Amino acid sequence: MEKLMFHPHGKEFHHNPFSVLGRFREEEPIHRFELKRFGATYPAWLITRYDDCMAFLKDNRITRDVKNVMNQEQIKMLNVSEDIDFVSDHMLAKDTPDHTRLRSLVHQAFTPRTIENLRGSIEQIAEQLLDEMEKENKADIMKSFASPLPFIVISELMGIPKEDRSQFQIWTNAMVDTSEGNRELTNQALREFKDYIAKLIHDRRIKPKDDLISKLVHAEENGSKLSEKELYSMLFLLVVAGLETTVNLLGSGTLALLQHKKECEKLKQQPEMIATAVEELLRYTSPVVMMANRWAIEDFTYKGHSIKRGDMIFIGIGSANRDPNFFENPEILNINRSPNRHISFGFGIHFCLGAPLARLEGHIAFKALLKRFPDIELAVAPDDIQWRKNVFLRGLESLPVSLSK
């Protein structure tokens, strides 16, 4: 039998990560592999079963902070140059007590009331985008709806001026590209993003506005405030993690509904099912297919496997969400599924702070889309659908549809 070996940058994983991860889940659920990145090799583990993923997400022998296991030279090889190292210094890359401090400060700008107050604005943005789509019989869901909706929402939330948004989108697209061949392009986008954000932060310190950047700049607890670098990191995290995962949910979720006509019809007839439908789309599509940037901080044994200090840990979210030992008929989309304890937003102290906003956008977007275009259909063969190149985030390049029969 051919020995299994995980290749995160391989074509097979890019085209169908669920199939690749599913094979590991069945045959080698705790898999050791060598991660080749930027000319260096790192020992790593791929975890694919639900119970094991949960165990590693909760294990305090696993750190999110690379500085706990690597020196500066190693970090530089793994990541990026010092002037843009804010990309690895955000809240998700911290353990307690640093994480607790950052989360409590950021939470002041992300209260449930703040999110709920966005409902009317999001509904209006969705309707305006659908108005534009209605002018044609065909559309690219990604270009016309799934990408612009969360982008406009996060831009307005952050206070990005309209005249800057096209450039802001260019930076965002470049920052999300994890392919090694585009490393310098990504780094340049990060530098320009940092310079731009620095100007906004400076402006908001002097003249606060009713936006997220102002709230983050002026957030304070027990005399503690976010540093300049922490502000860069938090806003980077919002744009990359918050924006792209919602884009992926809307795009891949629409594709899933169009490929499961009975479930799609059910949702059209019973729009009050939108909450359970969105949870199922989060499980089924896994917008974050893999969580990485975790390391063992000490040697330990797990189910007979010897894990060493410094080993990287890859959590196969997309596999855990389809584990037949935890979900009944996991390969089937079932918008009635309940309970639905997917881990698309992570678990524990690093549970996604933006989950309520992503859910709200999903509820509004899918309801509005199906109400406006009840006859929407795929306008391309499933095999011709293109996926973006990203090891961790599963998203579509485009999604051509016809809007009426």
Q: What percent of the chain has pLDDT over 90?
A: 58
Q: Output Rg (C-alpha) for the chain, integer angstroms.
A: 21
Specify if 75 maps to a domain.
yes
Question: In the prediction, which pLDDT does 92 show?
Answer: 55
Is residue 3 assigned to a domain? no
| Interior angle at CA 141, CA 12 and CA 390, nearest 5 | 30
Q: What is the DSSP letter of 375?
A: T
How much is the pLDDT for 90? 52
Number of domains within the chain: 1
Give residue 183's pLDDT: 72
Range 184-199 average pLDDT = 88
Residue 379 and residue 401 in contact, taking contact as beta carbons nearer than 8 Å: yes
- Judged against a pLDDT cut of 70, whether residue 93 lies above it is answered with no
Please check whether residue 150 lies inside any domain of the structure.
yes
List Cβ<8 Å contacts ≥24 apart for 349-354: 349/96, 349/99, 349/100, 349/103, 350/57, 350/64, 350/92, 350/99, 352/241, 352/245, 353/91, 353/103, 353/106, 353/107, 353/110, 354/110, 354/238, 354/241, 354/242, 354/245, 354/246
Q: What is the CATH number of the domain that holds 343?
A: 1.10.630.10
pLDDT of residue 9 exceeding 70: yes
**Considering the domain boundaries, does residue 124 fall inside one?**
yes
Domain presence at residue 1? no
Contact status, residue 125 vs residue 152, Cβ threshold 8 Å: yes
Report the amino acid identity of residue 261.
Answer: K
Establish if 51 belongs to a structural domain.
Answer: yes
The set of residues, in sequence order, having a beta carbon less than 8 Å from that of 381 and lying 6+ positions away, is: none
Residue 152 structure tokens: 């406009």
Q: Which residues are annotated as a binding site?
A: 352
Known binding residues for heme are 352
Q: If 0-12 CB within 10 Å is exposed, 13-18 middle and 19+ buried, where does residue 87 land?
A: buried
**pLDDT tens, position by position, 75-88:** 666 555 666 666 66
354 occurs within a structural domain: yes
Q: What gap in Å lies between CA 43 and CA 57, rounded to an integer?
A: 19
Query: Rounded to an integer, what distance in angstroms lies between the CA atom of residue 70 and that of residue 42?
Result: 11
Q: What tokens does 81 get?
A: 């140059």
Average pLDDT on 61-77 reads 75
Instruction: Assess contact for 286 and 22: CB atoms under 8 A.
Output: no
AA identity, residue 38: F
Note down the domain range covering 107.
9-402
Which of 13-22, 45-54, 110-119 is predicted least confidently?
110-119
Closest by CA to 314, choosing from 286, 288, 293, 335, is 293
| Predicted confidence (pLDDT) per residue in 308-330, tens digit | 999 999 999 999 999 999 999 99
Calculate the CA dihedral of residues 380, 384, 386, 392 and round it to 10 degrees. 110
pLDDT tens profile 325-366: 999 999 999 999 999 999 999 887 666 778 889 999 999 999
DSSP conformation letters of 260-321: -HHHHHHHHH-GGGHHHHHHHHHHHH-SB--B---EESS-EEETTEEEPTT-EEEE-HHHHT
Tokens 């405030």 belong to residue? 225
Rounded to whole angstroms, the Cα distance separating 198 from 183 reads 22
Phi-psi category of residue 292: left, alpha or beta, with phi > 0 → left and psi -120 to 50 → alpha: beta
Grouping H, G, I as helix, E, B as strand and the rest as coil, residue 352 is coil
For residue 16, pLDDT beyond 60:
yes
Q: Is residue 2 part of a domain?
A: no
